[in-house]
Structure 1
Amino acid sequence: MRIIEVDEEVFSYLQSRSEPLVDTPNDVLRRELLGKTGEAVSRATGRRDGSLTPLIEAGLVSAGDTLQHHQSRLKRTHTATVTADGWIEIPDGRAFPQPSPALKAQTGSSINGWGQYTHVPSGRRLQELREEAATHQP
């Protein structure tokens, strides 16, 4: 491990490219300079694969599939779309690498997106699909 110093401008750039509480400066530099983090990085978007990627790779979910959460008490239904790199895109155009922050952006409340989003084509919860995808791992 080597220690390097960076000026404020470079550090600000690193912060703008990081996911808070997840990435270290080294993670950002590795992704930006080498295009790898131990996770795949999409050439099209330049962002790391989202958490739905294993479901896509297992053939359980496809890019363009709809996710849905219905708030019965409020009589509201929220939809989102799975992207090719495993992210969740909500109708206002924002995209999230994890289901829970996506659902929070839609509902305003912290909700377990894995347990509450339904994959519309299969009618199954994301958590169920995640568990099935985990059994397909080598």
Structure 2
Amino acid sequence: MPKRSIEIDDEVFAYLQSRSEPLVDTPNDVLRRLLLGSAGRLPAVTAERRPGDLMPFIKAGVLKAGDKLIHVQPRRGLTHEATVTADGWLEIEDGRAFSKPSPALKAQTGVDINGYGKYVLKEDPGVRLQDLREQLRGGA
């Protein structure tokens, strides 16, 4: 497929960066996803993404695709939600997907934060993602 060059301004580039998985997506990947969606991808271009960090949780049966994780910010009156995908990624409210919990939570809160320590199961808010990770390691 021939390559074309386009010029975009800083604001558009910043938007593309905000919708990308760092060190994974190119600006073209983001544009393709935003403009064509999954149905518009050509078979030759569609490649399965690598499994996310939550895949071992899914394989062990402690999480499943569709499970919801939340982080509550009571002083700000905000609750952030992320959905576990079948390939072990987290998809946040705006549709972006992240292979790791901490970058997903940073995208939601705007600050570096430990996703394992702060995300809890929506169905059982007493269980942190960190608790499940320790369970997998044999610590619980």
- TM-score band, normalised by the shorter chain? 0.5 to 0.7
How far 1:131 moved relative to its partner?
A: 1.1
Matched, 1:125 2:134: no
1:55 paired residue number: 57
Q: Aligned with 1:135: secondary structure?
A: coil
How far 1:134 moved relative to its partner?
A: 2.1
Q: Aligned with 2:82: secondary structure?
A: strand
1:134 paired residue number: 137
What residue identity is the alignment partner of 2:74?
A: S
Q: What whole-Å deviation, never above 9, does each CA across 1:32-62 have from its counterpart, x for those lacking one?
A: xxxxxxxxxxxx8611100011111111111
Q: What whole-Å deviation, never above 9, does each CA across 1:86-128 have from its counterpart, x for those lacking one?
A: 0000011100000000000001011100000001234310011
Q: Structure 1 unaligned segments of length 5 or more: list them.
A: 1-8, 10-17, 23-43
User: Counterparts in 2 of 1:97-108, with a 5 A limit?
Assistant: 97-108=99-110
- Which structure 1 residue ranges, 4+ long, deviate > 6 Å from structure 2? none
Aligned residues: 98
Describe the shift of the 1:74–1:45 C-alpha distance in structure 2 as closer, same or farther (beyond 3 A): farther
Take 2:61 and 2:132, find their aligned partners in 1: how far apart are those partners? 10
The TM-score normalised by the length of structure 2 is: 0.64
RMSD over equivalenced CA pairs, Å: 2.2
Take 1:98 and 1:127, find their aligned partners in 2: how far apart are those partners? 13
What residue identity is the alignment partner of 2:101?
A: P
Identity %: 55
2:67 paired residue number: 65
Describe the shift of the 1:52–1:125 C-alpha distance in structure 2 as closer, same or farther (beyond 3 A): same
Take 1:99 and 1:119, find their aligned partners in 2: how far apart are those partners? 13
User: Counterparts in 2 of 1:60-99, with a 5 A limit?
Assistant: 60-99=62-101
Take 1:104 and 1:19, find their aligned partners in 2: how far apart are those partners? 12
Q: Structure 2 unaligned segments of length 5 or more: list them.
A: 4-20, 25-45
The TM-score normalised by the length of structure 1 is: 0.65
Q: Aligned with 1:73: secondary structure?
A: coil
